[in-house]
A and B are shown apart, each in its own frame.
Chain A
Amino acid sequence: MTSRRRFLRDASLAVMGAAAVERTSLAALPDAATRNDASTARPLAPPNGRPYRPVVTLNGWTLPWRMRNGVKEFHLVAEPVVREIAPGMKANLWGYNGQSPGPTIEVVEGDRVRLYVTNRLPEATSVHWHGQRLPNGMDGVAGLNQRAIAPGRTYVYEFEAKRPGTFMYHPHADEMMQMAMGLMGFWVTHPKDPSFMPVERDYVFLINAYAIDPGSRTPRVNEMTDFNLWTWNSRAFPGIDPLVARQGERVRIRIGNLTMTNHPIHLHGHEFKVTGTDGGWIPPAAQWPEVTTDVAVGQMRAIEFDATEPGDWAFHCHKSHHTMNPMGHDVPTMLGVNQREIATKIARIIPDYMAMGETGASMNGMEMPLPENTLPMMTGTGPHGPIEMGGMFTTLKVRHDLPRDSYRDPGWYRAPRGTVASPWQGSTSALPSTHRQPASAGKTGVKS
């Protein structure tokens, strides 16, 4: 896991649509740092202000700030970006400061925060600071609380980060379009007291989904249910980095859902507790153990566990379609249909035709040419073969020898001898007997 962060001195160098923004008008603003890399950046240790343990944004980064007269100043630039969803596929999205989602904003409870928002989109936007207590005029609902930010204009928001917890930011102007295009970001307000609920690793990501037709690059923004790219921080497996932890470390994962459906997020090998919601931290007495927590639409969840079990543990949404990449939702089931004779007939008209699906949808690792800029439906290979998953899937890698504060991918887990499921080598007589239900006497004949 490498992290390459490039802060360009001159914001207008790195971003598109700069023409509308006058340089002189930006002279007094903090740098609008930008990034063109979709890997997970190292946590940004706070260079000034109150101390805290920084979070790690999965396949993302944290926005640097400047202190000015005791105020933390950030500069967000809303703009079109090209985001790599996974190797082999790039999407035309809208984001902030070079990426979609935008960079994570980290502040400390009680901080005075000033946020400059420059609009380099072709239409007006605004920013809503989801979950914050703030003056009504800073809540970012265009029309209700403020004028929308016209293209080329810079607005400034200012409030005190009163409540520690897990938040998001996203537009509240033409949001159907702007959220479907990926305009969103994560916000963490750390507690003033660093010893409050301390963890060794604090991962954050947003759940989002896109409808990008195979062979195209821009989302269909009017789609409501038939999404084909189920992503975390606009990344699909195998494009999602693993979450790594040193054995025994306390790990927190904060998840925000900005899709239009719920996602049961499931962790293998460990139980966790939901310790935080949008509303704040949950008192220990109210927490209960889970291996799956449903993150409803528009919600935030913080889950915590002790990474006690070494290995590579699957971590994914439990809706099976959400761990798939683009697939044809109108493709009929071929299961149980012998196509051999028919295939030779079809091959006379479609020479490259090959029958598929008779025994299941698995491609068994076979790679076939696809439409350009399209991810395979099932992809990713593990140490034991094809993983055959995509979308909202990654791994939690727990190692006893991982250095503290290292976020390097340690590679595949080497299981101790005798701890991996393996073929039975003995005789079948040694197997426990199988008991079968007697066949149903009902009429089950299928007419053909």
Chain B
Amino acid sequence: MTNTLFPARMSPRQTAAAPPFASPHGQAGRRAPLAIAALAALVLSGCATFSDDGGFAPVAEAAQKRLGQPAVWARDDATAQALAKERDDLLTRPLDLDTAIRLTLLNHRGLQATYAELGIAEASLVQAGRLPNPRFSFQRVQGGGDTGIERTWGIDFVRVLTMPLASRIEARRFAQVQAQVTQAVVEQATQTRRAWIEAVAAQQRVQILEQTTLATQAASELADGMARAGNFSAMRRTQENLVYADTAARLARAREQATSTREQLARQMGLWGQQLSFTLPARLPDLPRKRPAWPGAEAQAIRERADVRAARAALDATTSDLGLTRVTRFVNVLDAAYRNNSETGRPSEHGYEISLEIPLFDWGSTRVAGAEARYRQSVDRLADTAVAARADARTRRAQTLAAWDIAEHYRTTILPMRQRVSDEWLLRYNGMLASVFDLLGDAREQRDAVLGYIDATAGYWLADAAFRESLGGGEPEGVEASATAAPTNPHQHGGGA
């Protein structure tokens, strides 16, 4: 037990909240518990007990807000059973994208393990906010025929002194864990989103290939009949047989793709065993009818992205921990740049050490200089992160809009033209201007156009998933585009950080 009694240099706030204490030694020791109780009541009210939800509420709220789906932490068997029942109910219907994400949030064991981080962090937080138990020690010394007995009431005094600071840091760490868990939820949801798109697209490709395999099979059989009737040479017949054989190989490859993408999806939702018999919808969701406009993407990214929030929290932590008094001016500059983001208070430390020192030789001038440098460093880090985040959001937005343009081009131009060509082939067939082999060859070309459309649609939804991720996981906030679907310059809303 140390006897060092000098308080650490503190900011005015902290100083007000944590006055130095008298020594508990000797006679004064009896009065110490009372003083400490008063201190605890003053400083730590509300912080020293476990919350009802283990601190999960902000995570659940963020999941609901960004993903539109509830996240539930199964902290006991009853909840786990309820979740299992909900999961089984959800699995009875074809899994749309929202359901897949919902299943992930309820069922993914990796996520549940991540939720447990909250419990661990909260335990530290509560511990930091509780007064150390007082200690009673008894000492008996014998020497030179003398026996001394000393009885002492003691308490971990440094801990008491640093308790407000520690609680504050632990509170920040807890908030940080909450942010990390939220980010893990968002990332897992993105993985599921990607896996779902890939799996549905792969399944759709199989469907198309199955249909046209039927066509090439028909052509192959017809070529056999033609050869039997003496109308086709071995070469012509084998050419048609070969087309069928080739299509069968493509189908086999597509089926393998469908299997592995489906496995990937099941894994992202944490499904196994009986649960694997889930069904997927037959088609990817339609494209948005109108060309989306997301003018607020950059602001949304600055407000929601985990990296920007972490950098901002690091800045705030630096600001408050180092006790800078001239901070406000700089923060205002920042706020002007990120006016859409006024939320603060996320920490970034990964550990801490508090020391109390005696201001005997240095009355703090070096500390102030170092603190200012660290503060400026945090400001620059935040600005750098924000520039990168804005660029990322703009890039993802441009990619998503381009993907929409391509898929829409397939939908409104290429597919109708393909259909028109097929209609014209049929008219030619009617007039004996074309043969059934021309029709079947055209069916193969139509298949390739439809596969191109599926790829383009999947491309849009994958770009959309990446765009959401670049915005911090939520749905892009946008205004409805004007009635015309005319492409606009996707960079027109861009700006510097």
Give the interface of A toward B (CB within 8 A).
214-215, 326-328, 330-339, 341-342, 345-346, 348-350, 352-353, 355-357, 361, 368-371, 374, 376-377, 446, 448
Report the bound CA distance from A376 to B435 in whole Å: 15
Report the bound CA distance from A446 to B218 in whole Å: 22
- Assess whether A370 is in contact with B431, with CB atoms less than 8 Å apart: yes
Q: How large is the interface on B (under 10, 10 to 19, 20 to 34, 35 or more residues)?
A: 35 or more
- Assess whether B221 is in contact with A342, with CB atoms less than 8 Å apart: yes
Q: Is B134 an interface residue (CB 8 A)?
A: no
Within 8 A of A (CB), among B181-214: 211-212, 214
Other-chain contact of B211, A337, A348, A371 (Cβ < 8 Å): A348
- Assess whether B431 is in contact with A376, with CB atoms less than 8 Å apart: yes
- Assess whether A371 is in contact with B435, with CB atoms less than 8 Å apart: no
Report the bound CA distance from A245 to B244 in whole Å: 60
- Assess whether A332 is in contact with B427, with CB atoms less than 8 Å apart: no
Within 8 A of A (CB), among B229-278: 229-232, 236
By beta carbon, the residue of chain A nearest B231 is A333
Give the interface of B toward A (CB within 8 A).
211-212, 214-215, 217-218, 221-222, 224-232, 236, 422, 424, 426-437, 439-440, 443
14 A-B residue pairs with Cβ-Cβ distance under 8 Å, sorted by A, are A326-B433, A332-B231, A336-B231, A337-B222, A337-B231, A345-B214, A345-B217, A357-B432, A368-B431, A370-B431, A371-B424, A374-B431, A446-B230, A448-B228
Given A342-B218, A349-B443, do A369 and B430 touch, yes or no (CB 8 Å)?
yes
Inter-chain contacts of A361 with B (CB < 8 A): 432
By beta carbon, the residue of chain B nearest A325 is B431
In the A-B complex, list the 3 residue pairs whose CB atoms are closest, starting with the nearest: A368-B430, A336-B229, A345-B218
Inter-chain contacts of A376 with B (CB < 8 A): 431
Report the bound CA distance from A327 to B434 in whole Å: 8
Least Cβ distance of B124 to chain A in Å? Answer: 65
- Assess whether B211 is in contact with A349, with CB atoms less than 8 Å apart: yes
Inter-chain contacts of A356 with B (CB < 8 A): 429, 432
- Assess whether A331 is in contact with B443, with CB atoms less than 8 Å apart: no
- Assess whether B212 is in contact with A349, with CB atoms less than 8 Å apart: yes
- Assess whether B214 is in contact with A348, with CB atoms less than 8 Å apart: yes
Report the bound CA distance from A73 to B232 in whole Å: 61
Other-chain contact of B432, A341, A348, A350, A377 (Cβ < 8 Å): A377
Report the bound CA distance from A346 to B229 in whole Å: 20
Report the bound CA distance from A214 to B431 in whole Å: 9
Inter-chain contacts of A374 with B (CB < 8 A): 427, 431, 433
- Assess whether B212 is in contact with A337, with CB atoms less than 8 Å apart: no
Inter-chain contacts of A336 with B (CB < 8 A): 229-231
Inter-chain contacts of B214 with A (CB < 8 A): 345, 348-349
Report the bound CA distance from A357 to B215 in whole Å: 19
Report the bound CA distance from A379 to B434 in whole Å: 18
Least Cβ distance of A95 to chain B in Å? Answer: 27
Other-chain contact of B430, A337, A345, A370 (Cβ < 8 Å): A370
By beta carbon, the residue of chain A nearest B225 is A337
Report the bound CA distance from A353 to B230 in whole Å: 24
Inter-chain contacts of A341 with B (CB < 8 A): 221
- Assess whether B225 is in contact with A342, with CB atoms less than 8 Å apart: yes
Report the bound CA distance from A331 to B236 in whole Å: 13
Inter-chain contacts of A349 with B (CB < 8 A): 211-212, 214-215, 443
Least Cβ distance of B430 to chain A in Å? Answer: 4
Given A328-B432, A333-B231, A336-B231, do A350 and B222 touch, yes or no (CB 8 Å)?
no
Inter-chain contacts of A350 with B (CB < 8 A): 215, 422, 426, 439-440, 443
- Assess whether B226 is in contact with A337, with CB atoms less than 8 Å apart: yes
Least Cβ distance of A302 to chain B in Å? Answer: 37
Given A335-B229, A349-B215, do A326 and B431 touch, yes or no (CB 8 Å)?
yes
Interface centre among A332, A339, A446 (most CB of B within 10 A): A332
Inter-chain contacts of B227 with A (CB < 8 A): 448
- Assess whether A346 is in contact with B428, with CB atoms less than 8 Å apart: no
- Assess whether A332 is in contact with B232, with CB atoms less than 8 Å apart: yes
Inter-chain contacts of A339 with B (CB < 8 A): 222, 225, 436
Least Cβ distance of B219 to chain A in Å? Answer: 8
Least Cβ distance of B456 to chain A in Å? Answer: 22
By beta carbon, the residue of chain B nearest A374 is B431
- Assess whether B439 is in contact with A353, with CB atoms less than 8 Å apart: yes
- Assess whether B433 is in contact with A214, with CB atoms less than 8 Å apart: yes
- Assess whether B433 is in contact with A331, with CB atoms less than 8 Å apart: yes
Given A215-B424, A345-B217, A350-B426, do A331 and B434 touch, yes or no (CB 8 Å)?
yes
- Assess whether A214 is in contact with B428, with CB atoms less than 8 Å apart: yes
Report the bound CA distance from A376 to B431 in whole Å: 6
By beta carbon, the residue of chain A nearest B444 is A349
Report the bound CA distance from A346 to B422 in whole Å: 13
Inter-chain contacts of B437 with A (CB < 8 A): 332
- Assess whether A371 is in contact with B431, with CB atoms less than 8 Å apart: yes
By beta carbon, the residue of chain A nearest B227 is A448
Inter-chain contacts of B434 with A (CB < 8 A): 328, 331
Report the bound CA distance from A326 to B431 in whole Å: 8
Least Cβ distance of A236 to chain B in Å? Answer: 14
- Assess whether A346 is in contact with B432, with CB atoms less than 8 Å apart: no
By beta carbon, the residue of chain B nearest A213 is B433
Given A331-B432, A342-B221, do A371 and B427 touch, yes or no (CB 8 Å)?
yes
- Assess whether A332 is in contact with B226, with CB atoms less than 8 Å apart: yes
Inter-chain contacts of B218 with A (CB < 8 A): 342, 345-346
Least Cβ distance of B182 to chain A in Å? Answer: 49
By beta carbon, the residue of chain A nearest B447 is A349
Inter-chain contacts of A345 with B (CB < 8 A): 214-215, 217-218, 221
Least Cβ distance of B25 to chain A in Å? Answer: 95
Report the bound CA distance from A371 to B229 in whole Å: 30
By beta carbon, the residue of chain A nearest B226 is A337
Inter-chain contacts of B427 with A (CB < 8 A): 214-215, 369-371, 374
Q: A328-B431, A337-B228, A345-B214 are in contact. List 8 more A-B contacts (CB 8 A).
A: A326-B431, A328-B434, A337-B229, A337-B231, A342-B222, A353-B426, A361-B432, A448-B227
Inter-chain contacts of B229 with A (CB < 8 A): 335-337
Interface centre among B217, B427, B434 (most CB of A within 10 A): B427
- Assess whether A330 is in contact with B435, with CB atoms less than 8 Å apart: yes
Interface centre among A215, A330, A349, A368 (most CB of B within 10 A): A349
Inter-chain contacts of B236 with A (CB < 8 A): 332
Given A331-B433, A337-B222, A342-B218, do A371 and B428 touch, yes or no (CB 8 Å)?
yes
Given A349-B212, A349-B215, A350-B422, do A328 and B224 touch, yes or no (CB 8 Å)?
no
By beta carbon, the residue of chain B nearest A331 is B435
Report the bound CA distance from A333 to B232 in whole Å: 8
By beta carbon, the residue of chain A nearest B237 is A448
- Assess whether A346 is in contact with B431, with CB atoms less than 8 Å apart: no
By beta carbon, the residue of chain B nearest A347 is B218
- Assess whether B433 is in contact with A446, with CB atoms less than 8 Å apart: no
By beta carbon, the residue of chain A nearest B435 is A331
Report the bound CA distance from A342 to B422 in whole Å: 19
Other-chain contact of A327, B211, B432, B439 (Cβ < 8 Å): B432
Least Cβ distance of B209 to chain A in Å? Answer: 12
Least Cβ distance of B437 to chain A in Å? Answer: 7
Report the bound CA distance from A148 to B218 in whole Å: 58
Other-chain contact of B439, A215, A326, A346 (Cβ < 8 Å): A346
Least Cβ distance of B426 to chain A in Å? Answer: 6
Inter-chain contacts of A446 with B (CB < 8 A): 228, 230
By beta carbon, the residue of chain A nearest B425 is A350
Report the bound CA distance from A349 to B217 in whole Å: 12
Report the bound CA distance from A368 to B231 in whole Å: 25
Report the bound CA distance from A369 to B429 in whole Å: 10
Given A348-B211, A350-B443, do A328 and B428 touch, yes or no (CB 8 Å)?
yes
- Assess whether A328 is in contact with B443, with CB atoms less than 8 Å apart: no
Report the bound CA distance from A349 to B443 in whole Å: 7
Other-chain contact of A335, B231, B426, B440 (Cβ < 8 Å): B231
Least Cβ distance of B171 to chain A in Å? Answer: 65
Inter-chain contacts of B215 with A (CB < 8 A): 345-346, 349-350
Least Cβ distance of A34 to chain B in Å? Answer: 34
Report the bound CA distance from A336 to B429 in whole Å: 18
Inter-chain contacts of B228 with A (CB < 8 A): 337, 446, 448
Report the bound CA distance from A297 to B228 in whole Å: 41
Report the bound CA distance from A65 to B222 in whole Å: 63
